[in-house]
Amino acid sequence: MTLFSKQGIMNIQTEKTTRRKYIMAHELEIVNGNAQMAYVGDLPWHGLGTKVEHDLTPGDFQKVAGLDWTVEKQPLVTATGLPIKNKEALVRSSDNSVLDVVGTGWNPVQNSEAFEFFHEYVMAGDMEMHTAGSLKDGQMVWALAKTKESFELFDGDVTDNYFLFTNPHQFGKAINIRMTPIRVVCNNTLTLSLSQNADKMLTVNHRKEFDASEVKEQMGIAREKMEQYKSMAAHLGSKRYTPDNVIQYFNEVFGAPAKEKVDGVLPFTSRNSKGAFENLDVQPGAEFAQGTWWTAFNSVTNMTDHLQGRSNDGRLVSSWYGRNRKVKLNALEKALEYADAA
């Protein structure tokens, strides 16, 4: 058994970070020049990864994505060889690298368990593996599966439904499963909760053993959530905005509302709010329900998913896990408020 010193781990992490910055500007993990990702269909956002057939099992998908490695906890010692109490190194089998330092009560969940979660649904024909990959040098492993559920509004505006399973090998991060509707015409995404609290995702803490059957009991909520989202979208598409209130909407979403008009015109309070306004009629899918709150909401998601940030991968991480996820949930809530008042 390998003993890891605290200083040794710091050196390893520094080398990994330096190497990562040198070889790529992506959040996506690169090993031996190959992106740790597999996908079905069109080339994904960064132009990297391995294209696979539609009928792969979750286990085969895991292997092609380069995620067929395990994690285990190993003892942690000081530079002088003394054991460090209540702390262990989380070690990856493929290259013996340290993913993080965790407490002794932290239970790793293997990548195979994440993919096995989808096996029952894929074999029954209810889902199809779509994309899987590794971010942040293996600290964040995710898998996206497409369901059979979708809806169409406004004569051709289609939204498909996906499930996103995230398995973090990182202290302080919980396993989470979310419903992820994706608008086909523009690939705008929104990760929605499977709980009754709109901003709470279905999570499993690493301090207890992962029980897939327990999680699956709550998956039935997904169909109800998709119907709710369809009703929201239809409602937004039936209500029109005015120039003033759509400007104020973008100001509220991206910054702060304008207090008063300047020369008879409501000013923008941030560069992003101005960008979202200018994007209204040129964004992909602008022809559907033009001039409505559905278009206004999608202008926000188009900004966060495709226009903001330095890299496509960075935008993905922010849209799924970070600040922009909250921006989009807030944008949906505010759009519904404005639509109700229209």
Is pLDDT above 50 for 146?
yes
Region 119-123: mean pLDDT is 89
Say which amino acid occupies 242. T
Region 216-235: mean pLDDT is 84
Residue with tokens 């000081």: 78
Q: Which residue has the higher pLDDT, 281 or 6?
A: 281
Given this model, what pLDDT does residue 115 score? 92
Given this model, what pLDDT does residue 14 score? 37
Region 88-110: mean pLDDT is 93
* Among the ranges given (8-17, 182-191, 285-294, 330-339), the one the predictor scored with the smallest mean pLDDT: 8-17
Distance between CA atoms of 147 and 161, rounded to whole angstroms? 6
Strand duo 71-77 + 4-5: pairing: parallel
Q: How would you label 281-310 residue by residue, b for 16+ Cβ within 10 Å and e otherwise?
A: eebebbebbeebbbbbbbbbbbbbbbebbe
Name the residue ranges covered by the structural domains of the chain: 4-228, 238-341
Is the pTM higher than 0.75? The answer reads yes
Distance between CA atoms of 96 and 91, rounded to whole angstroms? 6
Q: Which residue has the higher pLDDT, 256 or 49?
A: 256
Structure token pair of residue 67: 């995620």
Q: Let me know the angle formed at the C-alpha of 26 by 25 and 28, rounded to the nearest 5 degrees.
A: 155
* pLDDT single digits (tens) 227-266: 899 999 999 999 999 999 999 999 999 988 998 899 888 9
Is pLDDT above 50 for 20?
no
* Among the ranges given (49-63, 86-100, 175-189, 205-219), the one the predictor scored with the smallest mean pLDDT: 205-219
Q: Let me know the angle formed at the C-alpha of 128 by 286 and 108, rounded to the nearest 5 degrees.
A: 110
CB 110 within 8 A of CB 95: no
